[in-house]
Amino acid sequence: MSGPPTRSTERLRLEAISKRFGATIALAEAGFEVRAGEIHALLGENGAGKTTLMNVLSGLYHADAGRIWLDGRPAEIAEPRDAIRHRIGMVHQHFELIPPLTALENVIIGQEGSTLLLRRERQARGVAALAARFGFEVDLRAPVAALGLADQQKVEILKAIFRGVDILILDEPTTVLTPQEADALLRTLRTMASEGLSVVFISHKIHEVLGHCDRATVMRAGRSVGTVDASATTEQALVEMMIGERVARTAAPAEREVDDTVLLRVDDVTVAGRGGLPAVSHARFSIGRGEVVGLAGVDGNGQRELVEAIVGLRRVTGGRVELGGRNVTTTAVGDRLAQGLAYIPEDRLGDGALPSMSVAENLFLGVHRLARGGGLTYRPAAIRAGAAAPVRDYAIRGTATTPLGMLSGGNIQKVLIARALAVAGHGDTPLVVAHNPTRGLDVRTTEFVRRCLVDVSRRRGGVFLVSSDLDELMQLAHRILVLFRGAIVADLPSTAFDAYEIGRLMTGAAARA
Amino acid sequence: MSASAVVTLLLDPELWRLMLTMAAPLVLAGLGELVMERSGVLNVGVEGMMAVAAAVAFLTMLKTGTLLGAAAAAMAATLGLAVVLGYFAITLRSAQLTVGLCLFVFGTGLASLLYRLVIGVTTATPTVQTLPRLAVPGLAEVPFLGTVVFTQNALVYLALALVPVLAFLLVETSLGLRLRAAGENPRALDTVGVNVRALRYGAVAVGGLLIGLAGAYLPLAVTGAYSDGIVGGRGWIALMVVIFGRWQPGWALVGAILFAYTEALQFKLALVTKAVPPQVLLMLPYVVAIVVLVRLYQGAEPPRALGLPYERESRL
Amino acid sequence: MRNALAEIAKYAFAFAVAALAGAVLVAVMRGDVLGAYRTFVWSSLGTAGGFAQTLNKMCPLLLGGLAVGLALRGGYFNIGVDGQIYAGAIAATGVALALETVANPALAPFAVVVGVLGGAAFAAIPAVLRAWWSVNEIFVTVMLNFVAVFLTEYLTTGPWNDVMAGEAITRLIPDAAKLPMLSVRAGSHVGIFLALASAVLVWLVLERTRWGFEVRALGDNERAARVAGIRTAWVTAAVLVASGALAGLAGAIEVTALHHRLILGLTPGYGIMAILIAVLGKARPLGILAASFAMAILLVGSDSLQRSVGLPASAALVFQALIVLSVLFVDAKRSVRA
């Protein structure tokens, strides 16, 4: 029997929360307790249940079992509006904003202040004052779609505190920020906490937790493993709590055996963006055999456009793209693919997966234009048989005939990677273009994916790795390019890798001479 | 025909008046669809719903002789169909395009069935009195505009008045803000404690009522009779009007007027020329629609959640 | 096993809904409900003539269903099957009338081929607009239905009109252009074989060719298909044209095997029934085959009720739509619960 908790410092307690989605158990009696005025980290790898648990707290998910205590009293949270009433606010990882509406409209929606007319001016004054107080100033009149990610995050936080919060949940808030922006946010949160706010900080980055949080609750496979004081623990201890065992970092940095043969040359490439402004302007770089070239940048600075221009999905408005010395600037996607240019898209489900078709058919897609023999015919038996090897080698959970949409994100990504590597293996210019290939994956799959990419370079293929994870880039790449507003502002050799310096470049600080 | 004769024909006030008369059903149905789509629900069954409304309105008018009763009965019928669509789209989270198409077929059949059941097979087509024109005192005498705008039937005035009302509602009220949000990102709206489901049902109901009025308009204000082809693609054109108008009421009105002009022009041309077969003239509005379609999608950005069911507990 | 039973229960429920609606209608019209059921089944399945009728109706429904289904597999909605049926019928009639004096037995197959091409050509308009201009194919095909109807009205009342008939019909096509009957006594024609062959062909193309694989990939996720190097514009255009060709074949068969002339009202909404059939058959040739047979029975059965109790012809469409809506309802209900 736990009984009502003491009221001294405890603000929130989650008790034995369970939640399942169909056959998957997302939460198994998870729980933890948060004090007033603390920054409490919820740490765990992707899929551990952190977000699900917080979605329960914010009323978005209905728990199958468990109890929520607020200030020592049991609280019933069945709907988001209950959470709002209990002064709980959540900043979602993928912001819950309405892009065409203005920042102000996004902040006040649901609490417009009057039943009929929107009184924008009056509301704007209040919101602006609130923003100024906490240092979240943004252009309230601008449509959210026109704001950068850091500003969008400010709008999300404003939205929460505008409703009045005692508990503010932030889901992986630093992933969209540069190191400098992340520091600023954490400082602000510290100030707010010192005024009594409780912050729940979801993260999978241990150093953030150790550096900025008071306590941390570690989650693993839907359970809470334990809560520790940040000052009284170590990185290694937290890792073991998160993973449950020692997992060595397997993806060692690639051996630097770069040879002079150029696989890809991007020469002065410009791509038109929205509203006439170039999304990519005068990009110039090349990738040699055996080389992993990283591209760093805050999301939305032209990464997608540049990648799609290289792959052939987007028209180039200026410049040239060469594959193995051949000009492919206007060549169709399929023909580039035939040369060995493989693409692992960022949007796995949108750009990569055929959800209702089988694993075998998904592995065959793209490769089907390269496979010799067969000509026009399509032999399901042969295609199923051909899928056996990749399903085994990539440890894909499922069989050749499982519809891809039934698999988890990590397994879908394995299928896409198997396919990409098969494409690269078919051509004479093996080059893998990977856009955020490990986003949202658990540690094991992440390591697996990284190892695959390193293997490509070991086999003298090239890798163009576009990632918003700086650690990943610094670990895998031989060189890092920095993209800012569509321009490549730096080309750094591995000796010059420095997270803060790259962070500076990502936000537009001019490259040092 | 000389150039000046062509200009005279194209600018004929009677032609423009007919244009506005024919624009009204497109405006009403277009606004109804717009409200639904802004909330995130796609209804491609407009054509079938209008057909049902036309049949019900005509039959009620024939049997009771009350205009209001006829309009109300038609609107109730389409409200029912809209709720069915809403149930599939919102509660059951079905593929909205598929359900909409089935409702289109269902409505097409139902309209015809109702008429045959009530009227039976007759040689003389029964007719009803159409809505009278109401001249607005004073304004009706204004040259050109008076004839075009101010000697219309009551429903035309209503349709025109609804355009600014809806535009204001969407932009300047809390309800409009929430409606727009429901069609763009229902989860965002849900997280701030607004009931997305209720909002969408409301929008579907309002849309259904307006589409019903549009269908009722055809026998009550234009033909005075019912025939199976009475809607004649206007339901589909109403859907295009929404896209043409970029989901804005004002621009939707412009689109409705454009389509209605070609329709009115075809009537007019049939009167003045015998050289062209009437069927070729009848094709005109549809051919124009296809030509317009070619440009219709360029730069069109539908509400991001249009046609997508919202499920709070779906895992992202 | 449980799944199979649940599927059977689903269709049983759907047909029960339609049967109930039918009973209500007959009762409203003060008819004998049980007698009506008997007439319904007897007229469509119980006699050779009735069964021939059913097969004759099944022919355009199956081809139309395949047309909609094929496009649907590629991710597109062809709502213009009626227009394409007319286009095929016009083309077949045109060539048959133009070659009236040629008494060559090859004229019939030639007219059919021209009809197929007519349907394909008419569908090429939405195909090209969709593939290279991203114009929504639903709107274009719907608008073209109206164009096709007015064109048919013009031809049947104008240049090709049978002046003796006083109706919107053309002159009879020459005997050489007529497809043979299957059974003269029962009144069935060979069209059903062409339709069945088309179903097999569509299945083969979709499931056993790489092009078919590309169509299926396109239908499942257009972006992913494009990213994987499939020339999606060409596949889109081709699948819509092929869809039109199937509808064109239906039109050609209606002219060369059934009516032997072009008539206004050649298709009493086969195109919109085809939408229902494709949805009911889940866009699979085998499913479409079964669905078109069921819908043909409904059409012929309802037709006989029109004669016996005065049930309006449009009731069939309502029943068909009710069946499909009921199936969609059960499917959706199940997936919501899962």
- As given in the structure block, the two tokens for residue A400 are 């050749």
Say if B128 falls within a structural domain. Answer: no
Residue C164 — φ and ψ, nearest 5°? Answer: -75, -25
Pick from A463, A470, A39: nearest CA to A215: A39
Domain extent, residue B259, equals 8-121+133-297
In eight-state DSSP terms, residue A351 is I
**Percentage, residues of chain C above pLDDT 70:** 99
Which residues of chain C are modeled with pLDDT < 50?
A: none
User: How close A25 gets to chain C, by Cα (Å)?
Assistant: 15
Say if C16 falls within a structural domain. Answer: no
Cβ within 8 Å, pair B180-A163: no
Cβ within 8 Å, pair B185-A96: yes
- The answer to whether residues C176 and C108 touch, using CB atoms and an 8 Å cutoff, is yes
d(CA A79, CA B260): 47
Q: Given CB atoms, is B293 within the 8 Å cutoff of chain C? A: yes
Cβ within 8 Å, pair B173-A116: yes
d(CA B312, CA B296): 33
Residue type at C8 in one-letter notation: I
Q: Which chains touch C (3 or more CB pairs under 8 A)?
A: A, B
Report the residue from B93, B121, B232 with minimal CB separation from C332.
B93
Contacts of C238 in chain A (CB under 8 A): none
Residue that has been written with the tokens 């593929």 in this structure? B95
Contacts of C317 in chain B (CB under 8 A): 105-106, 108-109, 112-113
What is the count of structural domains for chain B?
1
Q: Count chain A–chain C contacts defined by CB atoms under 8 A.
A: 76
Identical fold for domains A10-243 and A261-506, yes or no, is yes
Report the residue from B172, B173, B192 with minimal CB separation from A110.
B192
Domain extent, residue C204, equals 59-286
d(CA A39, CA A44): 16
Cβ within 8 Å, pair C209-A376: yes
- As given in the structure block, the two tokens for residue A329 are 């600037």
- As given in the structure block, the two tokens for residue C124 are 């090429």
Residue that has been written with the tokens 């989860």 in this structure? B187
d(CA C54, CA C50): 6
User: How close B178 gets to chain A, by Cα (Å)?
Assistant: 7
User: How close B125 gets to chain C, by Cα (Å)?
Assistant: 16
Residue type at A137 in one-letter notation: E
Residue that has been written with the tokens 């020339």 in this structure? C231
Cβ within 8 Å, pair C276-B102: yes
Tell me which of B46, B99, B105, B301 to substitute to probe the interface with C (most C C-beta atoms closer than 10 Å).
Answer: B105
- As given in the structure block, the two tokens for residue B14 are 């009677």
Q: Given CB atoms, is B177 within the 8 Å cutoff of chain A? A: yes
User: How close A161 gets to chain C, by Cα (Å)?
Assistant: 35
Q: Given CB atoms, is B44 within the 8 Å cutoff of chain C? A: yes
Q: 265-284 in C: which are within 8 Å (CB) of B?
A: 269, 272-273, 275-276, 279
Q: What is the ipTM of this complex?
A: 0.94
Q: Helices marked H in A230-296 — which ranges?
A: 235-243
User: How close A116 gets to chain B, by Cα (Å)?
Assistant: 5
- The predicted pLDDT at position A398 comes to 87
Query: How many Cβ atoms sit within 10 Å of the Cβ of residue C163?
Result: 6
- As given in the structure block, the two tokens for residue A510 are 């001019």
Q: Given CB atoms, is C158 within the 8 Å cutoff of chain B? A: yes
Report the residue from C147, C324, C329 with minimal CB separation from B286.
C147
What is the count of structural domains for chain C?
1
**CB burial of residue C103 (10 Å; 0-12, 13-18, 19+):** exposed
What are the DSSP E strand ranges found in A22-156? 24-30, 33-35, 39-43, 65-70, 73-75, 88-91
Cβ within 8 Å, pair A350-C223: yes
| Residues in chain C, overall count | 338
Say if B302 falls within a structural domain. Answer: no
Q: 292-331 in C: which are within 8 Å (CB) of B?
A: 310, 312-318, 320-322, 324-325, 328-329, 331
Pick from A4, A26, A11, A15: nearest CA to A65: A15
- As given in the structure block, the two tokens for residue A321 are 């793209």
- The predicted pLDDT at position B102 comes to 96
Residue type at B117 in one-letter notation: L
| Residues in chain A, overall count | 513
Contacts of B177 in chain A (CB under 8 A): 101, 105, 109, 112, 118
Q: Count chain A–chain B contacts defined by CB atoms under 8 A.
A: 76
Cβ within 8 Å, pair C229-A332: yes
- As given in the structure block, the two tokens for residue C11 are 């269709």
Say if C300 falls within a structural domain. Answer: no
Query: How many Cβ atoms sit within 10 Å of the Cβ of residue B140?
Result: 16
Tell me which of A56, A109, A162, A172 to substitute to probe the interface with B (most B C-beta atoms closer than 10 Å).
Answer: A109
Cα–Cα distances in angstroms (integers) from residue B169 to residues A491, B31, B177, C263, in the given order: 52, 12, 9, 50
Quick one: closest CA in C to A370, which residue? C229
Express each pLDDT in B36-68 by its tens digit: 999 999 999 999 999 999 999 999 999 999 999
- As given in the structure block, the two tokens for residue A73 are 């009293």
- As given in the structure block, the two tokens for residue C208 are 């056993």
Average pLDDT of the segment spanning B78-101: 96
Cβ within 8 Å, pair A365-C224: yes
Q: Which residues contact A198 (CB under 8 A, 6 or more apart)?
A: A11, A12, A34, A35, A36, A37, A38, A40, A166, A167, A168
| Residues in chain B, overall count | 316
Q: Given CB atoms, is B119 within the 8 Å cutoff of chain C? A: no
Q: Given CB atoms, is B197 within the 8 Å cutoff of chain A? A: no
- Under an 8 Å CB criterion, which residues of A touch B? 21, 26, 52, 58, 60-62, 79-81, 84, 90, 92, 94, 96-101, 105-106, 109-112, 114-118, 159, 163
d(CA C48, CA C58): 15
Tens place of pLDDT per residue across chain A (513 aa): 344 444 358 999 999 999 998 778 899 999 999 999 999 999 988 888 999 999 999 999 999 999 999 999 999 999 999 999 999 999 998 899 999 999 999 999 998 877 788 888 889 999 999 999 998 999 999 999 999 888 999 999 999 999 999 999 999 998 888 888 888 999 999 999 999 999 999 988 888 889 899 999 999 989 999 999 999 998 888 888 887 765 555 555 556 666 778 999 999 999 998 777 889 999 999 999 999 999 999 888 999 999 999 999 999 999 999 999 999 999 999 999 999 999 999 999 999 999 999 999 999 998 888 866 556 889 999 999 999 999 999 999 889 999 999 888 889 999 999 999 999 988 899 999 999 999 888 888 898 999 999 999 988 899 999 998 888 999 999 999 999 999 999 999 988 888 888 988 988 875 443
Q: Count chain B–chain C contacts defined by CB atoms under 8 A.
A: 134
Q: Which residues contact A362 (CB under 8 A, 6 or more apart)?
A: A353, A354, A404, A415, A416, A419
Residue that has been written with the tokens 């019209």 in this structure? C29
- The predicted pLDDT at position B45 comes to 97
Number of separate helices (H) and strands (E) present in chain C: 13, 2
d(CA C174, CA B24): 49
User: How close A115 gets to chain B, by Cα (Å)?
Assistant: 6
The span from the first CA to the last CA of chain A, in angstroms, equals 66
Tell me which of A304, A354, A377, A406 to substitute to probe the interface with C (most C C-beta atoms closer than 10 Å).
Answer: A354
Say if C301 falls within a structural domain. Answer: no
- As given in the structure block, the two tokens for residue B290 are 């296809």
- The answer to whether residues A162 and A87 touch, using CB atoms and an 8 Å cutoff, is no
d(CA B73, CA B68): 8
pTM: 0.93
Pick from A80, A32, A9: nearest CA to A200: A32
What CATH number has the domain bearing residue B270?
Answer: 1.10.3470.10
Cβ within 8 Å, pair B193-A110: yes
Say if B215 falls within a structural domain. Answer: yes
d(CA C320, CA C277): 9
Q: Given CB atoms, is B298 within the 8 Å cutoff of chain A? A: no
Express each pLDDT in C22-50 by its tens digit: 999 999 888 889 999 999 999 999 999 99
Q: Domain A261-506 sits in which CATH superfamily?
A: P-loop containing nucleotide triphosphate hydrolases (3.40.50.300)
Domain boundaries, chain A: 10-243, 261-506
Residue A176 — φ and ψ, nearest 5°? Answer: -95, 5
Cβ within 8 Å, pair A90-B189: no
The sign of the CA dihedral A198, A203, A207, A208 is: negative
**Percentage, residues of chain B above pLDDT 90:** 80
Cα–Cα distances in angstroms (integers) from residue A82 to residues A109, A110, A482, C266, C294, in the given order: 16, 13, 44, 61, 51
- The answer to whether residues A219 and A43 touch, using CB atoms and an 8 Å cutoff, is yes
Pick from A232, A179, A216, A177: nearest CA to A50: A216
Q: Domain A10-243 sits in which CATH superfamily?
A: P-loop containing nucleotide triphosphate hydrolases (3.40.50.300)
Cβ within 8 Å, pair C153-B279: yes
Q: Which residues contact C222 (CB under 8 A, 6 or more apart)?
A: C75, C232
Cβ within 8 Å, pair A109-B177: yes
